[in-house]
Structure 1
C-alpha cells in the first residue's frame, strides 16, 4: 500500500507505517532528483524540537536536493514525553521489537518499499535525545544501518530510568566499556557487519557532558575491533577529527569534539556550501555536521570522490 502524504512546509506527513507501538509521528522528504535505489537518511530531532525545526536548522532537506537522498524524520509526541524527547532510557522504548525503536523500524521499511530505497544505504543521525535514540537504533537494529551519527548524545544502555539518565547526562557513573560493548552485542542477534559510527559533541556542553562522546566511541571500539588510540588525527574546518580504521584501512569510527561549543548541532550556514539556520540548539560554529556526516557516508560528491573518507592514512 502506498504511503499517504499530507503536505507541511518542506516535509510531508506519513500516515501509514505499521502498528506504531511507540505512538510516534513520521515526516518524509523525497527530492525531485531522488534516483531509484538511492539512499535514505533517518533524522531524529532533540528535546523541544520538531521534525520541521530540526530540518530547518540542520539543512538536511537542502542537502537532499543537492545530492538526491530521501529523508525520514520520526517525531516524538508531547503525550509521550512532555519535553518532546525520545524515551531512549525507558526499557519499553529501548529494545528491539518494542516501543519507539519498532515504530522507527516500521517507518524505515515503509519508506524503503514506497520509494525504492537501496536497503544497503540506510543511515541514521540525531541530536541530544535524538542522538541517544540513534544509539538505541544502531544497537537494536544494526543490520538495517550502514552508518550512524550521534550528536550531543549518549551511548546505548547507559541509563535505564529517568534518574539514571540525568546522572549520565551530567557525566557521572557511566557503565564500563566492557558493559557497554556487551549491551550492543546483546541487543540483537547480529554478528556484523556493523554500522560505521560518527560522534559529534560540544566540549562546553553543560546539558549532556562531553564524556558521553568518549563512552560512545568506547562502546563501538570493541564491536569494530579498533581498541586503543585513534589511527589518525586530522583537522577539518579547524576542528580536530579523530578516526579509527579497521584492519582493511576503512574508517569505522570518527569523533569531532568542538571545544568551545555548547549543547546542540554544529552548523555552518554561510558561504556556497552553507547549510541550515542558526537557532536554539542549532549552533553556528563554522563546521556543518550535516555536510561532513553525509561526506563520511559517501552521499555527497566530495564524499563519493574520497570513498567516504575510508582511505585515511594511518
Structure 2
C-alpha cells in the first residue's frame, strides 16, 4: 500500500511539473529507502584519455545452436553489481545523473579536417528541432548511406559526435550522419521523451520530427533510400527503438546503446520502474522487423541491463533463427559476449553485445564526449559495420 501511495503521489507531482520531487520519491521507493533519506549524489569518475581501442582480432565462438537454448543459458548468467561513482550532479526528468559542466569538445574532436558539419532546422505541427549534418570530404553528389544519431540526456550534437566519433568512421565509409537535437524547452534535461504515449506514435510528437529531419536530408542530398539507419544512446537509444518500430519503411537497421524497447513505459513512473528493473512489456506495431544491434553494459545502474535483453528478444522474434555466441575481450579493457541471430538465408538480423564490467556509457567512445567508456569494444565501428550490411527490400 505504501508503494502504491508513493506512485500516486509521484504521478501527481509529475502532472504538476515537479519532476525533481517525483523522481526523488520514486527512486527512494525503488531502492527501498525511507522518505526521509536524501537522494544519493554519485556518478562515474572522468576516464583517462587513451585512444579508443579496437576489438581484439581473436574471439572464440562458444556456441552455435537453436536460439531458444542460447537464450535460456544467457538469462541464467548472474549480473555483476556496480561499483559506486562520484563527481557528478543529479538532473531532473528520469532520475539520471550527468557530468559536471565541462568545456565543449573542440572541432578536431567532432569531425575530420576537410569535412562539413552543417547546422539546420526542421519544423512541423509537433514543433521545431535543430540538427547537425556531417558531409564526408569525398562526397561528389552520388547517393550515400545516412545514419541518424540520437543523443542522450544532457548531451548535444557536438558532444555526441565527439564521444562516439561517428563522423570519423563515416568519413572512412563515406556516409552522411545527422544529429537531431532535443532542446531543454522540450525536456528540462534534453532527454528525448520516449516514455510519453504521444511520443511513441508514427505521425505525431517527436517521432514525426525525427522522421521529418531524416526525410529533409533525403530531399536535400542524394541519400540512398534503401540505406538509412538510426541509432541512439540511453534516452536516444529508446527513441531509436521507437523510430524503428514506427518507421520500418524508412530505416533499414537500428542501433540501440544502453536504451529501452519501444513501449517500455507510458509515463514517468513506469519509465523509472523500467529503467530500474527492466521493461516487462512492449508495444506491438506489427509490420516487418528492423534488423537491430544492441550494446549494453552489464554494470549499468541507470538503465537496467535486462532492457538490452528485451530489445534483443524482440528483434529476434522468429522461430527459424539460429544463435551464434562469441566471447571476446578488448586488450587491457572489457570482455564482452556477442550474440548473433541468423535467419535461414544466413543474414544476421540481430546482434547483442553484452559488455562485461561496463556502466552507462558509449562503449569504445572517446573521452572528448560525455558518457563514454574507452575500455569497451568499439560500438561505433560495429554499429556502422552492421548497418552497411543491411538495406531495405526493393
Give the TM-score taking structure 1 as reference length.
0.81
RMSD across aligned positions (CA): 1.9
- 2:298 is aligned to 203
SS at 1:143's partner residue? coil
Quote the Cα distance in structure 1 between the aligned partners of 2:127 and 2:275. 23
Question: After the TM superposition, which residues 269-288 of structure 1 pair with which residues of structure 2 at under 5 Å, given as runs?
Answer: 276-277=366-367, 279-288=369-378
Question: After the TM superposition, which residues 179-194 of structure 1 pair with which residues of structure 2 at under 5 Å, given as runs?
Answer: 180=282, 183-185=284-286, 191-192=287-288, 194=289
* Deviation sequence 1:93-136 (CA, Å, 0-9, x none): 11010011001111111111111000100001000000000011
Question: After the TM superposition, which residues 189-268 of structure 1 pair with which residues of structure 2 at under 5 Å, given as runs?
Answer: 191-192=287-288, 194-222=289-317, 224-225=318-319, 231-236=323-328, 237=330, 238-267=335-364
Quote the Cα distance in structure 2 between the aligned partners of 1:140 and 1:195. 10
Instruction: Tell me if the contact between 2:265 and 2:274 (Cα under 8 Å) persists in the aligned partners.
Output: yes
Q: How many residues align?
A: 271
Question: After the TM superposition, which residues 5-24 of structure 1 pair with which residues of structure 2 at under 5 Å, given as runs?
Answer: 9=107, 10=111, 11-15=117-121, 17-19=122-124, 21-24=126-129
Instruction: Tell me if the contact between 1:22 and 1:102 (Cα under 8 Å) persists in the aligned partners.
Output: no
Question: After the TM superposition, which residues 151-166 of structure 1 pair with which residues of structure 2 at under 5 Å, given as runs?
Answer: 151-166=257-272
Does the alignment pair 1:31 with 2:136?
yes
- 2:148 is aligned to 42
1:221 and 1:184, CA in 2 relative to 1: closer, same or farther beyond 3 A? Answer: farther
Select the structure with the greater relative contact order (CA < 8 A; seq sep ≥ 6).
2
Deviation at 1:172, TM superposition (A): 4.6
- 1:296 is aligned to 386
Larger Rg: 2
Quote the Cα distance in structure 2 between the aligned partners of 1:261 and 1:173. 20
1:251 and 1:62, CA in 2 relative to 1: closer, same or farther beyond 3 A? Answer: same
Unmatched 5+ stretches in structure 2: 1-105, 112-116
1:56 to 162, 169, 176: 162
The more displaced of 132-141 and 235-244 is 235-244
Quote the Cα distance in structure 2 between the aligned partners of 1:267 and 1:125. 15
Deviation at 1:195, TM superposition (A): 2.0
Deviation at 1:168, TM superposition (A): 0.2
* Deviation sequence 1:14-66 (CA, Å, 0-9, x none): 13x34161432211111121351110000000001111001001001111221
Unmatched 5+ stretches in structure 1: 1-7, 186-190, 269-275, 299-306, 309-314
- 1:113 is aligned to 219
Quote the Cα distance in structure 1 between the aligned partners of 2:348 and 2:326. 13
Quote the Cα distance in structure 1 between the aligned partners of 2:368 and 2:377. 12
- 2:203 is aligned to 97
Question: After the TM superposition, which residues 66-85 of structure 1 pair with which residues of structure 2 at under 5 Å, given as runs?
Answer: 66-85=172-191
SS at 1:201's partner residue? strand
